[in-house]
Chains A and B, each alone.
Chain A
Amino acid sequence: MQLFLDGIFLGSIYALFAIGFTLVFGILDRLNLAHAAVFTAGALVGIEIVTLFGVPIWLLIPIILVVGAVLGILIERIAFRPLAGRHDAHFAGLISSIAFGAIILSLLQALYGADTRRFPADAFPSTRVEIFGATVSLLQVIILIISVSLMVVLTWLVAKSKLGRGMRTIAENPHAAAVLGLNVGRISSTTFALSSALGAVAGVLFTLNVNAASLGIGHAVELKALAVIVVGGMGSLPGALVGGLILGVAEVLAVNYIGSSWRDMVAFGLLFLILILRPQGLFGARKTREV
């Protein structure tokens, strides 16, 4: 049981990161590799705010949502929008987001130095709970709840709301969306803002959970998140959650039954297997080819 819960909690962090990742991919068909930098920025800016002003965590989350959203809009405006309509927008978007991510990280180093930082010890109550004979911390439960509810809210948003309809239209056919009078630019910005807001909050929760934030944390989770969104199905929000949880549990099982040296092999092996057996992922829809 403890094993299973450990896996679920580990996976919920992956899921939290991956949901923002997959949102942009599903709607705009772009892989935003600056997401890892946003994740790190959320963590480090969050630490700074708490350390300087003693803001309580419940107030920090909305602040970080805003910080993330602003970063997301900047990423969209600077690294993606100028590429719109270019035949190589796919490759170029990858590279420009890498460049933008590198700029964010080096500015973070300029602001906060390269040292590992952490939230003050009393930033979050370290309450522990016993469930089914396993020990879990309150924080882990909250992270899981946040991941699940974000997934539900976002899925609802994309499926039902006016904004969501716009997003789906763009996902189907950007040109048609423009013809229909949708403000493609604004909807793209909103999507990036949402995605990055989630990424930044994921950074805060991750840091609270492991008690360490360095410039490299986003990078370490990014690779796993890529595996998660493929396993779950590119662009699928429930897929990101389930994929994250599956990966978390698989890793914990690997540690216990295969050997910890091969843990990361399991993540990537799983990814590889899914790509070969079911390239659209567990929850992805297979796109039909048009002649």
Chain B
Amino acid sequence: MFADYTSLITLIALTAILAYSFYAVLIAGQLSLAQVGLASLAAFTSALVVPAEPLFGFIPPLAIGIVFGMFVGAIAAFILGLPVIRLRGVFLAIATLAFGEMVRIFLINQSWTNGAQGLSFSKLVGPGIAWIALAVVAYWFWRLSGSRLGRAFAAIREDELAATTMGIDVPRYRMASFVIAGAVAGLYGVLLAHFSRFADPNEFSFTAAVDGLVTAVVGGVTLFVGPILGSAFLSVLPEVQRVIGIDAGWIRPTISGVLLLVVILFLPGGLSGLIPRRKSAKRLIADPSLRPTLPALPAAGSELVSLSRLGKSYGGVHAVQSVDLTVNAGEVLGLIGPNGAGKTTLVNMVTALTPPTTGTGTVLGVPLSATTKAHRLAQAGVARTFQQIKLFNRLSALENVLVGGYRITQDTLLRRLLFLPSARRSEREAVAMASAQLIRVGLADKASNAAGDLSYGDQRRLEIARALASHPSLLVLDEPAAGMNHVEAASLSELIRSLAADGIAVLVIEHNVRMMLATCDRIMVLNFGEIIAFGKPGDIARDPRVLEAYLGSSGSDEDEEAASVLASENLAQVAADRDSDQSGHHSDPAPDGETNPEENR
């Protein structure tokens, strides 16, 4: 009964494989239009190697073509990737589009491809082989989606910078997705040529690239079956129009265009968004016995950060000048100062997001220089949060924390492909560790919510949990209490103290002076990039220069509030509180403790 539609059925599979090639780059947040160019390279070069008879009498010619084609696709993608991998978004799309066109023009001008007249291939692919190939590709992407590699791709897609600070080597992973996509494109090229028995370079044009992209996007990139759905939908559409007797001619592309528009406008996740998903693929694993034992943190008091005359200037503006600082394991070091004092610039240098222009520094044994990569520091044991929250918004809270555990987990893709029990064990351990962090910050009941849907305070806490998941020696918190009420801030303070008690060095920037005085062991005050005070909380609170700095700042409400706190409070009392207030673990602070009466009018 399917006999009438063998070509359609085969083409659905082949188009889906092409769409997987786009999917492979899209899941890592990249838009590449080189895929059909890679496919055509693979198809035409395979014509040079595919033998007429089985090799050694038993290796089928198609197998040689497929292996060779995937190899060519991967190598070509790698070579293309070397220069273009650092481009983003539309620039990457246009660069890869240019590559695709260059391949086409190159092949047209070659005699071995027979130019525009094209090449004939033997018919080696039918629906069976096409669907087996598709099944293998789909299986691979299915197993990828839950592996550490798959999570790293998703993290890069959602936020590259945050991914870097999880220890993910972003350029390498982007290249990996490029090469994977290239291999899949090569597979597509070889299969298509050996299905249709003929190929000319013009078939692999810009239009074909756009069609492939459209297929992948229509199917959706959030679920591994997306490309298959997209391909089935778009391949069947013209056939359905034929069968129901719509006149051949302009009306069909019009209908297709309108349907495509409708899908894009009204189905944000593509067709795969229609498939009901469980809220999260994984559940919390609260059982502590499943957590693996982690390597010990550095001994309390050992020096983790040492900065010497470190500075950063942009043009003639000195954002940070000549900072000397050491941070030891187990201490909480506070960094305060009015807006624009250079606090974030300083921690960006400490986490290697910003290269210093003067001075030297060592963080966890890694020297800070212009070439130090943030992911290297992260792998050494630095974790951080951001002033502007950088969560992976479309991933669940638990998945965010799982990405955070990148540093201390092992990749599971290969073992997942083979369904080895050890892969399952590794994944359970990773989930157990992530669950522990979520429980620790009080987000256990929101593990399956998308990070972007959480309240502001919860997002702050989730970011901390994600940072903790990497089992860091040094934790950098950039305004963790922003937007929190007193109750939440108090429990955050408590959390920070308990981390320090575990042996983690915590470097924290915060405007909430009261909380800082109560939390930190030492506080450094910056103004205009310079240290104006550095010492114990009590000393800082009494230092008139600090109050002066806040009062002198033209800045924000936060600065005014800090100034008023410094001016009015009985600061010695506040600073002393931090030792006494160790009791009572508020695991779930009331989120809306302070409702603004204005809002209820």
Check: B288 CB closer than 8 A to any chain A CB: no
Q: 11 additional contacts, CB 8 Å, given A96-B265, A100-B257, A275-B95?
A: A79-B261, A91-B217, A94-B213, A98-B260, A106-B251, A106-B252, A106-B257, A110-B251, A230-B95, A262-B109, A275-B98
Residues from chain B with a CB closer than 8 A to the CB of A3 are none
State the Cβ distance, B234 to closest chain A Cβ, in Å: 12
B254-265 to A contact mask, C-beta < 8 Å, 1/0: 101110110011
Which residues of B378-410 have CB atoms within 8 Å of chain A's CB atoms? Answer: 386-388, 393-394
Q: Cβ of B265 and Cβ of A107 under 8 Å apart?
A: no
Is there a chain B Cβ closer than 8 Å to A105's Cβ? yes
Asked if A99 and B257 sit within 8 Å, CB to CB, the answer is yes
Question: Does A153 touch B at the CB level, under 8 Å?
Answer: no
Residue in A78, A87, A88, A275 whose CB lies within 8 Å of B91: A275
Chain B residue, CB-CB nearest to A223: B206
- Chain B 343-395 residues near chain A, CB threshold 8 A: 344, 348, 353-354, 386-388, 393-394
When the two chains form the complex, which single residue of B105, B252, B265 contacts A83, counting CB atoms closer than 8 Å? B265
A264 touches B394 (CB 8 A): no
Complex Cα–Cα for A10 and B348 (A): 49
- The CA-CA distance from A279 to B394 in the complex, in Å, is 29
Residue in contact with A272 in the complex, picked from B90, B98, B252, B348, CB distance below 8 Å: B98
Within 8 A of A (CB), among B235-255: 249-254
Identify the stretch in B59-67, B81-89, B129-137, B441-449 within 8 Å (CB) of chain A at 4 or more residues: B81-89
Contact across chains for B256 and A279 when beta carbons are under 8 A apart: no
Residue contact A261 to B109, C-beta cutoff 8 Å: yes
Measured between alpha carbons, how far is A88 from B257 in the docked complex, in Å?
Answer: 20
The 7 closest A-B pairs by CB, nearest first: A103-B257, A102-B257, A268-B98, A99-B260, A106-B253, A110-B250, A99-B261
Whether A88 pairs with B265 at a CB distance below 8 angstroms is: no
User: Could you say which residues of chain A place their CB within 8 Å of the CB of B97?
Assistant: 223, 226
Chain A residue numbers with a CB within 8 Å of B233 are: none
**Contact pick for A234, options B90, B95, B101, CB 8 Å:** B90
Query: Is residue A265 contacting chain B, with contact meaning CB distance below 8 A?
Result: yes
Per the bound structure, the CA–CA distance linking A230 and B207 in Å amounts to 20
A261, closest chain B residue (CB): B109
**Per-position binary interface string of chain A over residues 249-291, scored 1 when its CB falls under 8 Å from any chain B CB and 0 otherwise:** 0000000000001101100110110011001000000000111
User: Is A49 an interface residue, CB under 8 A from the partner?
Assistant: no
Contact A230 B94 (CB under 8 A): yes
The interface bits of chain A over 87-123 (1 if a CB of B lies within 8 angstroms of the residue's CB, else 0) are 1101110111011101101110110000000000000
Does A160 interact with chain B (Cβ within 8 Å)?
no
In contact, B261 and A223 (Cβ under 8 angstroms): no
Picked from B90, B254, B348, B353, the residue with its CB within 8 Å of the CB of A106 is: B254
Question: B496 on the interface (CB 8 Å rule)?
Answer: no
Q: Are A227 and B264 in contact (CB under 8 A)?
A: no
Choose among A88, A230, A269 the residue with the greatest number of B CB atoms under 10 Å from its CB.
A88
Tell me which residues across on chain A come within 8 A of B218, comparing CB atoms.
Answer: 95
- Complex Cα spacing A86 to B26, Å: 16
Which of B93, B257, B260, B393 gathers most chain A CB within 10 Å?
A: B257
Cβ-based interface call for A25 (8 A):
yes
A211 CA to B396 CA, complexed, in Å: 58
Nearest CB in chain A: distance from B371 CB, A? 17
Q: How far is the CA of A100 from the CA of B253 in the complex (A)?
A: 11
Contact B264 A271 (CB under 8 A): no
Residue B99 CB within 8 A of the other chain: yes
CB-CB contacts below 8 Å: A28-68 with B: 31
Contacts of A107 in B (CB 8 A): 250, 254
The residues of B that contact A87 with a CB separation of less than 8 Å are 393-394
* B181 proximal to A (CB < 8 A): no
Between-chain CB contacts (< 8 Å), 18 pairs: A88-B268, A91-B31, A95-B218, A99-B258, A105-B253, A106-B252, A107-B254, A219-B207, A226-B97, A265-B102, A265-B106, A268-B98, A268-B99, A272-B98, A272-B99, A272-B102, A275-B87, A289-B161
A82 interface residue per 8 A CB criterion: yes
Choose from A96, A103, A110, A271 the contact partner of B94 (Cβ within 8 Å): A271
Contact A95 to B264, CB < 8 A, known contacts A230-B91, A234-B91, A276-B84: yes
Residues of B within 8 A of A (CB): 26, 31, 83-84, 86-87, 89-91, 93-95, 97-99, 101-102, 105-106, 108-109, 161, 206-207, 210, 213-214, 217-218, 249-254, 256-258, 260-261, 264-265, 268, 344, 348, 353-354, 386-388, 393-394
How many angstroms from the CA of A14 to the CA of B353 in the assembled complex?
40
Chain A, interface size category, equals 35 or more
Give every chain A residue within 8 A of B348 (Cβ-Cβ): 291
For the complex formed, measure the closest distance between the CB of A158 and the CB atoms of chain B, giving whole angstroms: 20
B264 CB contact (under 8 Å) in A92, A102, A269, A275: A92
Alpha-carbon distance A79/B260, docked complex (angstroms): 11
Q: How far is the CA of A272 from the CA of B92 in the complex (A)?
A: 10
Write the residues of chain A forming the contact surface with B, with a CB cutoff of 8 angstroms: 25, 31, 78-79, 82-83, 86-88, 90-92, 94-96, 98-100, 102-103, 105-107, 109-110, 219, 223, 226-227, 230, 234, 261-262, 264-265, 268-269, 271-272, 275-276, 279, 289-291
Query: Quick check: A291 and B84 within 8 Å, CB to CB?
Result: no
**Are A103 and B258 in contact, with the CB atoms below 8 A?**
yes
Contact of A95 among B101, B258, B260 (CB under 8 A): B260
Bound complex: CA of A126 vs CA of B327, how far in Å?
79
Q: Which residue of B lies closest to A79 (CB)?
A: B261
Chain B residues lying within 8 Å of A289, measured Cβ to Cβ, are 161
What's the Cα separation between A30 and B474 when bound, in Å? Answer: 40
| Cβ–Cβ < 8 Å partners of B83 in chain A | 272, 275-276
CB contacts (< 8 Å) of B250 on chain A: these are 106-107, 109-110
- Pairwise interchain contact B161-A291, C-beta atoms closer than 8 A: yes
Q: Smallest Cβ distance from A147 to chain B, in angstroms?
A: 22
Does the CB pair A95–B217 fall under 8 Å? yes
Q: Which residues of B lie under 8 Å from residue A276 when comparing CB positions?
A: 83-84
Q: How far is the CA of A25 from the CA of B89 in the complex (A)?
A: 12
A94–B212 CA distance with the chains assembled, in angstroms? 13
Q: Which residue of A lies closest to B260 (CB)?
A: A99
Report chain B residues within 8 Å CB of A109.
249-250
A290 to B159, CA, bound (A): 12
Given contacts A96-B265, A106-B250, A265-B105, whether A275 and B94 have CB atoms under 8 Å apart is yes
Set of chain B residues within 8 Å of A94, measured between Cβ atoms: 31, 93, 213
Q: Are the CB atoms of A227 and B91 closer together than 8 Å?
A: no
| Residues on the A chain within 8 Å of B89, using CB | 90
Partner of A86, one of B94, B99, B268, B387: B268
Partner pick for A82 among B90, B101, B257, B265, CB 8 A cutoff: B265
Q: Closest approach, in angstroms, between the C-beta of B105 and any C-beta of chain A? A: 5
Query: Does B253 lie within 8 Å of A102, measured CB to CB?
Result: yes
Which residues of the partner chain A approach B268 to less than 8 Å between Cβ atoms?
A: 86, 88, 92
A290 to B90, CA, bound (A): 19
Measured between alpha carbons, how far is A109 from B26 in the docked complex, in Å?
Answer: 34
Chain B nearest CB from A57 CB (Å) reads 29
Instruction: Report how far A234 CA is from B89 CA in the complex, Å.
Output: 12
Cβ 8 A contact of B98, one of A100, A219, A227: A227
How far does the Cβ of A16 sit from chain B's closest Cβ, in whole Å?
Answer: 19
